[in-house]
Amino acid sequence: MTGTLDACAGPGFGPVPRKEDGRFVRGRGRFVDDIALPGMLHGAVLRSPYAHARIRSVDVTAAESHPKVRAVITGETLAARGMAWMPTFSHDVAAVLATDKVRYQGQEVAFVVAEDRYAARDALALIDVDYEPLPPVVDARLALALDAPVIRDDLADRTDNHVFDWETGDPDATAALFARAAHVSECDLVYPRVHPAPLETCGTVADFDRISGKLTVHATAQAPHAHRMLYARIAGIPEHHIRIIAPDIGGGFGNKVGMYPGYLCAVVGSIMTGAPVKWVEDRSENLMSTSFARDFHMHGEIAADADGHILALRVSVLADHGAFNATAQPSKFPAGFFGVFTGSYDIAAAHCRVTGVYTNKAPGGVAYACSFRVTEAVYLVERLVDVLAHDTGRDPAELRMANLLTPDRFPFRSATGWEYDSGDYPRALRTALDTAGYAGIRAEQAARRASFEKTGKGPLTGIGMSVFTEAVGAGPRRLMDIMGLGMADGAELRVHPTGTAVLRLSCMSQGQGHETTFAQIVSHELGLPVDAVDVVQGDTDNTPFGLGTYGSRSTPVSGAAASVAARKVREQARQVAAVLLEVAADDLRWDAGPGSAEGGSFSVAGVPGVSVSLREIAMAAHGGLDLPEGVEGQLAATTVYNPPNLTFPFGAYVCVVDVDPGTGEVDVRRFVAVDDCGVRINPMIVEGQIHGGLADGVGMALMELVAFDDDGNHLSASFMDYLLPTAMECPPWELAATVTPSPHHPLGAKGVGESATVGSPPAVVNAVLDAIGVRHADMPLTPAHVWRALQGRPIRPDIAIR
Amino acid sequence: MQVPAFFEYQRATSVEHVVTLLERFGPEARIVAGGHSLIPMMKLRLAQPELLVDVNDLHELAGITVDGSVDAGHLRIGALTRHAELLASSVAGEHFPILHDAERVIADPVVRNRGTIGGSVCQADPSEDLSGVFTALRAVAVIRGADGDRTVPMREFFHGPYETAVRPAEILVELRVPLRTGAGSAYVKVDRRAGDWAVAAAGAVVSLGPGGVVDEVGIGLTAVGDADFTAVEAEDLLRGRVADEDAFAAAGAVAAEHCRPTADQRGPVDYKRHLAGELTVRALRDAVARARRGRSAG
C-alpha cells in the first residue's frame, strides 16, 4: 500500500491550528508550578555530593529547629513507613531516600518541608550528613572488573555490577553468513549519555486529605494512570483514593514517565503535615538525577558479499544503566526495542547480545524520544552501513538503495522477529536524494575537497544520510507491559444532546497537540467541527485507564481507541436514525459532510432528500423516543484498544554540512527529511514534531552530552554545560512526505513523535565524517571532537576530557 | 526551583552613594547591574552577598562617546553600557570593528539586552570575550573610590579568575579605548554552540606603517589560560615586521606556545593550544585586511 499526501485528505483531517495554542501563546498555560493550593507548603531535596559513599549518620536537628520548617524526611523516616525503596520499571528497586549508601552524585538523601521555598532551601544547609566516601564505578567498561566496587550491596548475594544479559537473533545462522562473506567491517560506537532536558522540569503538588483519606497529586506525568498504580503500591494508599492530575506539561520526551523520589517525598510530606506540598526540581536537579537516555557502548559487525549485498549483522552492547535498573520500557524487553537493529535492510541473519551493568550514575536509560532504544538501533545500523561503504569504496546512497527492503516484502518479518507492517523505503530515499540534489552536492563536495588539498583552507562539505525504520505504538498487551499493566489504551466518547462531544483519553500531551489531533479524529468519524469536540486528558478521575504518552504511542494506540469509540457512537446513531426515519438501519448511508455543526448525517439509500443529522440524532437519543430492544439511548461509547502490532513509520534523511578543518566547527547547511508516518491527521502538527526531533538530532550529534569525571562528578548539570541546540544551529528544514498507511490501524496512521530524533543523529554524524574523510568518531561532534578525529586521535565521549 | 539566600538590596542614586554603601558593608556587598552572572550564582548559592547595590539608575555610567580628537582622544564606554548598545553603536563599530565582532558572539540577544560591559569585565570570567578584546585594544579602566578616580590599564586589570584591580569599596566607571587612525581590528571565536562561552577566542588590533609594516599590534586571547588575556610574545614578534601570512603564522605559533590552556568539556589542551594559534592567525588576517581597507579608503 502506497500513496501520497492526498491519502490523508478526509473530513476533519488537515493542518488545523492547534486548539491549545490559544492559551499557550498568551502565557495562560497552567503548569504544575502555577498551582497554588491554600496552605500549601514547599519541599526541597538534599542531594549527595558524592557518587559513591556510605552514610554514617544524618543529623536533622538543626534543620528541624528552623522556625519555618514543618517536616524533615530522611531515609529512616521512609523506612519506618516501608517506603525507603521503590520498585522500578525493570525488575529492580531504587532508593527513594538513601539509607545505607549514596550511589550517584545528586541522589536524594533528605527532604525538607517548609513554609516557603526559600526556607526549605535554607534548611538543607542545616542538615549534617556524615559520609564515608567509597571508590566509584564511573567507566562502564570497568564495571565488571574483578576488583570493581560492588554498587548494589543492598541486594542479597550481590558480588558484582552485572544487571542482565539478553540476546536476540540466530547466532549460528549469523556466524554461517559471516563465514562466507566476501567482506566484513567492524566498528566500535558509543551512543553517549544524553538527557531529555524538557524546558519544564519535573514537579508535583501532593495533597493528602486526612479526613477523606484521599490523595490528589498534581504532577508532570506522561502516564497518569500508571503513576496512580505506583502510588498505590508504594505508599499503600488504596488506588481508588488516589487522583492524579497532570496539568499542562512543558515537554517530556520520556523524562516524565518514571516515578521520582521527590514525588513520593511530597506525598509523605503532605501526609505528615496535613497540608499540600509542592516540590518542583531545579534545572541542575533535573539534569543530574532524572532519567537520562542512551549510554550504549556498541560493537557492530556487518557482513557483505562481493557485490555489496549485506548478508548479516552481529552486535554486542555494553549498556550503562546507572545505579538502579530503572529503564522505562516494556518489562519483557531489557534492551527495549533495540532488536530492530537490522533497520530498513534485507538482511538474512542477525544476532545481538546486550549486557547491562550498574555504575555510580543516575538511573534511566530509556528516555528522550528514543522509541525504547530504536534510536540506538538506527544509529548502529546506519553508521555500520556507512562504514561498509567507506571500507568497500561504495557510494553510501547506492549501497543503501541496493539493500533496502522493497515494498513487495511487506508485511516483513525481520531476522530478529519483528513484523514490519508496511513500507516503501526506496521511494523515501529517492525522494530525499532528489530533493537534496544529491549529484550536485557530491560535485560541490569534490570541488571543495580539491580546493582544500591545494590551499589547506576549508570548508569541507559532507553529505550524510540515514534510512530509518521506527517501531512505535506499544503493545500488543500480550507482549508488552509496564509493571504488569498491559499496553492497551481506553477511550470514552460522549456526544451531548446539542451535538457537541467530549472525548476522554488515557494518554497525556506534553506539547504534542492532543487537544487538536484527537478532536480531529472524532471530527473525521462523526463529521463534527473540530471545535465541537472537547478532549479531556491527564486526570485519572475523569479519564479511562491507559498507559500514557511515550514511545510515539498516542496516535497508534489512543488514536485508534478514539477512532473505534467514535465508530461505536456512529453505529448507535445509526440505530437511532433508523427509528427517526422509520427505515431499517442497514438501509442508512453515512455521510460525514463538510464538518458543520450538524455533524455527519444518515440518509436512506435510494431516497434522495431524506436524512437526519448527527445533531438531530443526538437530541433524539437523549429525548423521549421509543428505542428498540438493545438500543440504550444517549450517544456514548467506551473502548479499550489493544494494538495488534506496532506501527513502523520510516523515513530517509539527507544532511549536508560544512566543516572548518582548521577549527573543527560544523555548520549544518541543509537537512532534507522525508517522513512516512502513514496517514497524517494534522500534517502541521506532524511537521512540528519533525522539526523538534530534527533539532534534537542535531543537538545529540553535535553538542549534547552528560559526562562524568573520575570521581563520578556530573559535568553537565546546567544549560551552560549541557548544550541544547538553538535556532542558530538549525538549518531551514526541508521536509517532504510519502504516505504508506498502516494496514492494521483504523485510520492508517503510524506514530511520528520520535521519528526525527531516531533518524537524524546518524545522518548528521555520517555527514560530518564524510566531510572530514574519517571512518568513525563518536558523538557529540563538538569542534574539539572533530579536530581530534581529524588528527587521528578521537575523543572518548563518555568520560571527562583530559 | 533555585532560590537565593537572604540578602539586602539598595538602589543606588549616585556613584558616590555606591561607594558609601560598599564602604559600609565591606566585601560582602556586591554591585548588580545586568545581573547575568551574579544572579545565577546567587540562585545556585555559589555567591551569597549580604547586600546588592543596584546601579541600574546611574545614567552617568551609561553611554558611548568619543572624547578628544581623532588622533589623541578615546572612545569612552560607560560601565553600565549594555552589550546590545555597544553592538548597535555605529561610532564603536566604525573605530573598532572588533567590538562588534565580539558582541555578535556574546551570549544571545536576551542576555545582551541586559548584561553590561562593566559587569562583564569585572566578573573576570576566564572565558569572557570582552576581556581579550579590551586587552587587545589597550583600553584603560577608570575606577572610582572614596578618594576619587584612578586609572588602570586593562592589561593590568585582571588578577586571576574572577579577580580584578577593582577593590572592595570601588566601582568601575568607564573604559577608555585610545583612538588610533589607520588601525584595523577583528575578533574570532570558536564555541560549541551559539551563545556558549568560548572554547578559545582571539582578538587583534593592528596599526600598519609605511610598507605594510606592523607599527603596533595588540593580541588578546580568551579562555586559554592567559591571566592577562594577552599574547605579548606574539605582539613582540610582529612589531616591525611586514604583515603577511608568514608573519601571522609565526605569531600564531608563538601565541600557541605561550598560552596555558586547561582541559575541560570544551576541549583538551592540545586542541585549545591549536586554536590559540589558528585563531590568532585568523584575527590578525582580518584585522590587517581591515587596516588596509581603512588606509586605501582614507
CATH number at residue B150: 3.30.465.10
Same domain membership, residue B196 and residue B151: no
Inter-chain contact A705–B265, Cβ cutoff 8 Å? yes
The pLDDT value recorded for residue A698 is 98
Same domain membership, residue B203 and residue B229: yes
Out of A666-670, B121-125, B131-135, B293-297, least confident range? B293-297
A283 inside 8 A of chain B by CB: yes
Using CB atoms, pick whichever of B195, B268, B282 lies closest to residue A801.
B268
Q: Which three cell numbers stand for residue A189?
A: 560506537
The pLDDT value recorded for residue A7 is 60
Same domain membership, residue B189 and residue B163: no
Tell me how far apart the alpha carbons of residues A623 and A619 are, in angstroms, rounded to a whole number: 6
Question: Which of A:79-138 have CB within 8 Å of B?
Answer: 117-118, 121-122
Same domain membership, residue B266 and residue B220: yes
Whether residue B297 is contained in a domain is answered as no
Which residues of chain B neighbour A665 with C-beta distances below 8 Å?
190
Segments in A205-258 forming alpha helices (H): 224-235
Residues facing A733 on adjacent strands: A671
E strand map for A227-348: 242-245, 277-280, 292-304, 310-320
Handedness of CA A157, A159, A161, A163 (dihedral sign): negative
Which residues of chain B neighbour A715 with C-beta distances below 8 Å?
265
The pLDDT value recorded for residue B298 is 45
Residue A791 makes CB contacts below 8 A (sequence gap 6+) with: none
pLDDT band with cut points at 50, 70 and 90 for residue A5: low
Inter-chain contact B268–A784, Cβ cutoff 8 Å? yes
Chain A: give the shortest CA distance to residue B140, in Å: 30
Using CB atoms, pick whichever of B1, B195, B199 lies closest to residue A784.
B199
B44 inside 8 A of chain A by CB: yes
User: What percentage of chain A carries pLDDT values higher than 70?
Assistant: 99
Q: Over the stretch A156-177, which tens digit does the pLDDT of each residue have?
A: 999 999 999 999 999 999 999 9
The pLDDT value recorded for residue A1 is 42
Whether residue B208 is contained in a domain is answered as yes
pLDDT band with cut points at 50, 70 and 90 for residue B9: very high
Chain A: give the shortest CA distance to residue B71, in Å: 37
The pLDDT value recorded for residue A516 is 98
Whether residue B298 is contained in a domain is answered as no
Inter-chain contact A663–B190, Cβ cutoff 8 Å? yes
Inter-chain contact B3–A728, Cβ cutoff 8 Å? no
Tell me how far apart the alpha carbons of residues A488 and A503 are, in angstroms, rounded to a whole number: 17
Same domain membership, residue B139 and residue B65: yes
Q: Which of B151, B178, B205 is the last residue of a domain?
A: B178
User: What percentage of chain B carries pLDDT values higher than 90?
Assistant: 94
- Domain count within chain B: 3
Inter-chain contact A801–B44, Cβ cutoff 8 Å? no
Cβ proximity of A575 and A602 under 8 Å: no
Using CB atoms, pick whichever of A282, A283, A787 lies closest to residue B274.
A787
Residue A699's closest chain B neighbor by CA?
B193
Cβ proximity of B155 and B136 under 8 Å: no
Q: Please choose, from the candidates A704, A715, A686, the residue with its C-alpha nearest in 3D space to the C-alpha of residue A799.
A: A715
Whether residue B296 is contained in a domain is answered as no
pLDDT band with cut points at 50, 70 and 90 for residue B297: low
CATH number at residue B20: 3.30.43.10
A527 inside 8 A of chain B by CB: no
Same domain membership, residue B49 and residue B64: no
Residues facing B174 on adjacent strands: B78, B142
Whether residue B209 is contained in a domain is answered as yes
Domain residues for the domain of B250 are 183-291
Is residue A490 helix, strand or coil? strand
Inter-chain contact A800–B193, Cβ cutoff 8 Å? no
Chain A: give the shortest CA distance to residue B41, in Å: 12
Same domain membership, residue B238 and residue B191: yes
**In a 10 Å sphere around its CB, with 0-12 CB exposed, 13-18 middle and 19+ buried, how is residue A111 labelled?**
buried
Domains A5-27+488-641 and A401-407+422-473+646-802 share a fold: yes
Using CB atoms, pick whichever of B45, B197, B199 lies closest to residue A783.
B199
Q: State the helix-helix crossing angle for A683-702 and A755-772, rounded to 10 degrees.
A: 40
B167 inside 8 A of chain A by CB: no
Inter-chain contact A122–B5, Cβ cutoff 8 Å? yes
Inter-chain contact A783–B2, Cβ cutoff 8 Å? no
Sheet bearing A128-133, strands edge to edge: A101-102, A53-59, A128-133
The pLDDT value recorded for residue B69 is 78
Tell me how far apart the alpha carbons of residues B83 and B100 are, in angstroms, rounded to a whole number: 10
Residue A44's closest chain B neighbor by CA?
B1
Chain B: give the shortest CA distance to residue A274, in Å: 23
Which residues of chain A neighbour B199 with C-beta distances below 8 Å?
783-784
Cβ proximity of A123 and A69 under 8 Å: yes
Handedness of CA B291, B293, B294, B296 (dihedral sign): positive
Chain A: give the shortest CA distance to residue B201, in Å: 11
Inter-chain contact B268–A728, Cβ cutoff 8 Å? no
pLDDT band with cut points at 50, 70 and 90 for residue A549: very high
Tell me how far apart the alpha carbons of residues A541 and A214 are, in angstroms, rounded to a whole number: 12
Segments in A624-703 forming alpha helices (H): 683-702
Inter-chain contact A783–B263, Cβ cutoff 8 Å? no
**In a 10 Å sphere around its CB, with 0-12 CB exposed, 13-18 middle and 19+ buried, how is residue A1 labelled?**
middle
The pLDDT value recorded for residue A4 is 62
Residue A499 makes CB contacts below 8 A (sequence gap 6+) with: A528, A532, A597, A598, A599, A613, A614, A615, A618, A619
Question: Which of B:225-264 have CB within 8 Å of A?
Answer: 263-264
Output the average pLDDT for chain A.
97
Which residues of chain A neighbour B45 with C-beta distances below 8 Å?
121
Same domain membership, residue B99 and residue B45: no
Inter-chain contact B199–A703, Cβ cutoff 8 Å? no
Which residues of chain A neighbour B284 with C-beta distances below 8 Å?
none
Q: pTM of the entire structure?
A: 0.97
Same domain membership, residue B190 and residue B135: no
Residue A785's closest chain B neighbor by CA?
B267
Region A555-559: what's the mean pLDDT?
98
The pLDDT value recorded for residue A101 is 98
Tell me how far apart the alpha carbons of residues A374 and A720 are, in angstroms, rounded to a whole number: 29
B195 inside 8 A of chain A by CB: yes
E strand map for A481-550: 481-482, 485-486, 489-495, 501-505, 533-536
DSSP per-residue codes, A153-186: TTSTT--S-EEEEEEEE-HHHHHHHHHT-SEEEE
Chain B: give the shortest CA distance to residue A763, in Å: 19
Q: Which fold has domain A401-407+422-473+646-802?
A: Aldehyde Oxidoreductase; domain 4 (3.30.365)
Residue A200's closest chain B neighbor by CA?
B1
Amino acid at A644: P
Q: Fill in the DSSP letter of residue A525.
A: H
B110 inside 8 A of chain A by CB: no
Using CB atoms, pick whichever of A282, A720, A726 lies closest to residue B2.
A282
Whether residue B34 is contained in a domain is answered as yes
Q: Over the stretch B116-155, which tens digit does the pLDDT of each residue have?
A: 999 999 999 999 999 999 999 999 999 999 999 999 999 9
Inter-chain contact B2–A716, Cβ cutoff 8 Å? no
Q: Fill in the DSSP letter of residue B60.
A: G
In terms of CATH architecture, what is A5-27+488-641? 2-Layer Sandwich (3.30)
Q: Where are the domains of chain A?
A: 5-27+488-641, 401-407+422-473+646-802
Residue B201's closest chain A neighbor by CA?
A663
Q: Which three cell numbers stand for residue A86?
A: 521503590
Whether residue B2 is contained in a domain is answered as no
Whether residue B1 is contained in a domain is answered as no
A707 inside 8 A of chain B by CB: yes
Q: Over the stretch A24-64, which tens digit does the pLDDT of each residue have?
A: 999 999 999 999 999 999 999 999 999 999 999 999 999 99
Region B103-115: what's the mean pLDDT?
96
Using CB atoms, pick whichever of A715, A721, A784 lies closest to residue B267.
A784
Tell me how far apart the alpha carbons of residues A738 and B151 are, in angstroms, rounded to a whole number: 68
Chain A: give the shortest CA distance to residue B5, in Å: 7
Q: Which three cell numbers stand for residue A210?
A: 486526612
A33 inside 8 A of chain B by CB: yes
Q: Please choose, from the candidates A676, A477, A650, A470, the residue with its C-alpha nearest in 3D space to the C-alpha of residue A557.
A: A477
The pLDDT value recorded for residue A6 is 64
Inter-chain contact B194–A802, Cβ cutoff 8 Å? no
Output the average pLDDT for chain B.
96
Which residues of chain B neighbour A123 with C-beta distances below 8 Å?
none
A10 has pLDDT over 80: no
Which residues of chain A neighbour B2 with C-beta distances below 8 Å?
282-284
Tell me how far apart the alpha carbons of residues B216 and B286 are, in angstroms, rounded to a whole number: 15
Residue A715's closest chain B neighbor by CA?
B265
A455 inside 8 A of chain B by CB: no
pLDDT band with cut points at 50, 70 and 90 for residue B295: confident
Residue B41's closest chain A neighbor by CA?
A718
Region B173-182: what's the mean pLDDT?
94
The pLDDT value recorded for residue B294 is 83
A219 has pLDDT over 80: yes
Which residues of chain A neighbour B44 with C-beta distances below 8 Å?
284
Residue B192's closest chain A neighbor by CA?
A782
Inter-chain contact A720–B274, Cβ cutoff 8 Å? no
The pLDDT value recorded for residue A365 is 87
